[in-house]
Amino acid sequence: MFPLQSSSSSSSSSSSSSSPTEDSVDSFDEEFVNVIPLMKHHLDVLAQAQLHAPKAPYGGSKKGRKVKHRNYALTLEILKANYFVDRPVFLKEDFKRRFRMKKSLFFHIFNDIQTHFKYFQPKFNNAGKPSIDPLIKVAGALRILGYGKDLNSLVNASVL
């Protein structure tokens, strides 16, 4: 895992001269926080549906099934380099535009989702290969919710 930023960095926004753009972004973040309980409810419903889904009569590999080799490690490194390192490629404003929220809210949601839902926790397959990193899963899910479209239709979907 990577170290998450603390929420203390958001306390510096209490300066007396705030621009209208910052105020509208802050109000948008407050509105988004109100959506969190609804999002948690939807994830609970999906988790319950997954528990009761019918299982295949047999497991293992399927003959003739094509394997798509995806480089999730590279995707994770690009995502971290773009947004989550000390000197990211993209600025805070770019993060807000792309994810429709502040980083502090993103990290709050990321931590909550990762602790409450098994799907978003790190896993390994039977071959010992790691699955998709939780950061990639949460970033993709939040972009889908933010834009109201599927991940394939978003620009730069391959690197989120």
Query: What's the pLDDT at 8?
Result: 45
- Under DSSP, is residue 124 helix (H, G, I), strand (E, B) or coil? strand
Q: Model confidence over 10-23: pLDDT tens digits?
A: 444 444 555 665 66
pTM of the model: 0.54
Q: Are 106 and 142 in contact (CB under 8 A)?
A: yes
Q: Model confidence over 21-71: pLDDT tens digits?
A: 566 656 666 766 777 787 788 788 878 777 776 666 666 666 777 777 778
For the beta carbon of residue 117, count every other beta carbon within 10 angstroms: 17
Which of 33 and 4 is assigned the larger pLDDT? 33
> What one-character DSSP code corresponds to residue 61?
-
pLDDT band, very low/low/confident/very high, at 89 (cuts 50, 70, 90):
very high
Distances (CA, A) of 77 to 34, 60, 69, 87, 132: 31, 30, 17, 14, 12
Rg (CA), the chain: 18
Q: Which helix (H) or strand (E) holds 91?
A: none
pLDDT band, very low/low/confident/very high, at 109 (cuts 50, 70, 90):
very high
Beta-ladder partners of 130? 124
Query: What's the pLDDT at 46?
Result: 78
- Under DSSP, is residue 153 helix (H, G, I), strand (E, B) or coil? helix
